[in-house]
Amino acid sequence: MTGDFFSVTRTADELSVMCPDDVVPEDVRCEGGWRALELEGPFEFSEVGVLISVAEPLAEAGVGIFAVSTFDTDYVLVKEKQLESAVASLRGMGHEVL
Given CA atoms 84, 17, 2, 69 in this order, what sign does their dihedral have?
Answer: positive
Instruction: Give SS3 for 17.
Output: strand
Tens digit of pLDDT at every position of the chain (98 positions): 445 889 999 999 999 999 999 999 999 999 999 999 999 888 888 888 989 999 999 999 999 999 999 888 899 999 999 999 999 999 999 988 88
> Could you give phi then psi for residue 19, rounded to 5 degrees?
-160, 170
Which letter does DSSP use for residue 81 in this model?
G
> What CATH number is given for 28-92 in this structure?
3.30.2130.10
Given a contact cutoff of 8 angstroms between Cβ atoms, the answer to whether 61 and 95 are in contact is: no
pLDDT in the model for residue 46: 87
